[in-house]
Amino acid sequence: METATCTEKCSQVVPAAEDALYIIAGKWKMRILITLAGGDKRFNELQRALSGISARVLSNELKDLELNGLVSRKILDNGTILYVRNAYADSLRSVMHELVQWGMDHKQKIRNREI
Amino acid sequence: METATCTEKCSQVVPAAEDALYIIAGKWKMRILITLAGGDKRFNELQRALSGISARVLSNELKDLELNGLVSRKILDNGTILYVRNAYADSLRSVMHELVQWGMDHKQKIRNREI
DNA sequence: GTTAGCAGTAACCTATGGGTTAGTAAACCT
DNA sequence: AGGTTTACTAACCCATAGGTTACTGCTAAC
């Protein structure tokens, strides 16, 4: 039976993909994760590294990432606050890889006017 | 050298991922592709199958998908217009799969309060 | 004592994605 | 001949993501 209406199949598959997309698809989420992969950072340090993000937005993004367990807010003894990329963020590796790969291939195809 | 600032690494990786995301991240793109996987469809047929999408939005989404080579607009001899999922859309398989997989795992983790 | 950095929050603005309703010209059905 | 379906487009509305500017209370440096 090849009757794959959206109501049947989409309802199983799409919400899961959308959850994933919601978490990484923001303008800054990936950049933050990549930047934090280079080492823990403080708020302002992060803001400078990302160049272009506002404090408000950075604050929101970090809260989202924290809620989803990808990043932690660590308070040192001297009171310094560090944002740390969690090991769990590595679980996004293959998703990211696929996205980047497909994006590159696709852009190439378009450049070559294969589309 | 572990100095992965965003300006260095993000500038290579992020745009590629964003291109990919832009193409599949809309509310309807995936649903349309999945629906068309069940066979070619006419405009109104597609609209009914997706239940909830407006003609305006469907029209826009189809244009996007066509521009990116994922879908074609085929005109039959009798004038009927069919929307056809291209073979190229299969190249999204692994991206989709990873997204769905990660989304499901993540939701599970949250349900189990592992986060 | 004041200036600069830290870690944000508050109030506001705008551009965009998507939705709603209506309307079109042509073909098709009865 | 009148109604329905097809394949759209036009004009409008709204919610949200993200941006801008300003402000806070706190600490450290000069």
Q: What is the pLDDT of residues A65-109, one digit of tens each?
A: 999 999 999 999 999 999 999 999 999 999 999 999 999 999 999
For B6-88, the fitting CATH number among 3.40.980.10, 3.20.20.20, 3.40.640.10, 1.10.10.10 is 1.10.10.10
pTM of the model: 0.92
Q: What is the pLDDT of residues B59-99, one digit of tens each?
A: 999 999 999 999 999 999 999 999 999 999 999 999 999 99
pLDDT given for residue A9 in this prediction: 72
Q: Is the CB of A14 under 7 A from strand C?
A: no
Collect all residues with Cβ–Cβ distance below 8 Å to A52 and sequence separation of at least 6: none
Contact A71, A86 (CB under 8 A): yes
Contact flag B19-A103 (C-beta cutoff 8 Å): yes
Contact A103, B68 (CB under 8 A): no
Domain spans of chain A? 6-86
For residue A31, the chain B residues in CB contact (below 8 A) are: 6, 10, 14
pLDDT given for residue A58 in this prediction: 98
pLDDT given for residue A6 in this prediction: 67
Q: What is the pLDDT of residues B17-58, one digit of tens each?
A: 999 999 999 999 999 999 999 999 999 999 999 999 999 999
Contact flag A99-B20 (C-beta cutoff 8 Å): yes
The partner residue sitting opposite B31, judged by closest CB among A2, A14, A109, is A14
Question: How high does pLDDT run on average in chain A?
Answer: 93
Helical spans, DSSP H, in B1-115: 11-24, 29-37, 43-50, 55-67, 93-111
Class of domain A6-86: mainly alpha
